[in-house]
A and B are shown apart, each in its own frame.
Chain A
C-alpha cells in the first residue's frame, strides 16, 4: 500500500482519496476507519444539543422507546431510533449486538461466556453488554473473521 500526504497548509478541510477496488478488504477497512473518525451525531443532554464524535461513543441503547448514546462519562439522548442508527452506522465499527443495543466494536476489551450460554462483551470502561447469539456471525465479520 502506498501512502502519500500532500502538504497543503492553507486548506482547512482534509481530503482523502482511496484508489483501489471497492470490494477489497483493505479498502473497506480504510473506508470504515475514515468514516468512524469523520462521523458525528447530534444528541441532547439537559435540553442542550451536543455533537458527539463516533469515536467517543461506547454504545447506543434503547430504554422505553428512547435511544441513548453512552460515552465513558455521559449519557446523551439521541433523537433517532435504533434501526435508523443501525442503517446510518452500517459502514462503521458499530454493530447491533442484541435487540436494544448497538455496540462500538472498537471499545470492546474482551468477550466472556457464562455457564448458562450467555455471551457478554466487557468494554474498556468495565461495563458488560449482553451479546445475542443471533448477532455473533455479524460480529465475527466486523472483527475480520469469517462468519461460518
Chain B
C-alpha cells in the first residue's frame, strides 16, 4: 500500500503538470477556461490508474509477459478520462483517441524493448563474471 501511494503521488504530480500546461495552452489559444474540480478529479483518476498499472507491471507475482500486457490494458481507460476532460478541444475527431492508443502502444513497446535490451546486457556481463569466477574456483580446487 505504501508503495502504491508512493507511485500515486508521483503520477499525480506529473499528470497535474501536464493538465496545467494543456489548460494554459487551450486558454491562450481559444480563451476557454476549465472547471478546476472536473480537471482535478480526472487527474486523480488517471494517477490512480497509472500507479496501479505500474504496480502490476513491477509485481513479482505471475507471468511477467502477462503483467506487461495487463499494465498496458489498464492504462487505456486513462486515455478516455483524458478525452473526457479535454474532449472537443484536443480530440476534434472521434477516431483521434484510437490513433493516440496506437501511438501510445508503439511508445510503450519501444520503451520496453530499449529497457530490456539494456538489462540483458547487464545480465550478460554478470553471467560472464560469474563464469570467470567459477572457472577460477575450478582451477584452484
Residues of A within 8 A of B116 (CB): 113, 115, 117
- Complex Cα–Cα for A98 and B64 (A): 19
> Do B64 and A118 touch (CB < 8 A)?
yes
Say yes or no for A83: interface residue by CB 8 A criterion.
no
Do most interface residues of chain A lie in helix, strand or loop, or is the interface mixed? mixed
* Contact code string B113-137 (vs A, CB < 8 Å = 1, else 0): 0011001101101110110110001
The answer for the CA separation of A101 and B65 in the assembled complex, in Å, is 25
**Those of A80-133 within 8 Å (CB) of chain B:** 105-106, 108, 110-119, 130
Interface residues on A, range: 20 to 34
Q: Residues of B contacting A118 with CB < 8 Å?
A: 58, 60, 64
**B51 contacts partner chain A, Cβ-Cβ < 8 Å:** no
Q: How many Å from the CB of B122 to the closest CB on chain A?
A: 7
Q: In whole angstroms, what is the CA distance A119 to B119 when docked?
A: 8
Which of B60, B64, B126, B132 is the one whose CB lies under 8 Å from A111? B126
The answer, yes or no, to whether B67 is at the interface (CB within 8 Å) is yes
* CB–CB A113/B129 < 8 A: no
B57 within 8 A of A: yes
Choose among A108, A115, A136, A140 the residue that contacts B64 (Cβ–Cβ < 8 A): A115
Within B81-139, the residues touching A (CB, 8 Å) are 112, 115-116, 119-120, 122-123, 125-127, 129-130, 132-133, 137
Contact A116 B68 (CB under 8 A): yes
Chain A residues whose C-beta falls within 8 Å of the C-beta of B137 in the assembled complex: 106
Cα(A106)–Cα(B64), bound, Å: 27
Considering the complex of A and B, which 3 residue pairs feature the smallest CB-CB distances, nearest first? A143-B129, A113-B119, A114-B64
The interface of chain A, by Cβ under 8 A from chain B, is: 105-106, 108, 110-119, 130, 136, 139-140, 143-145
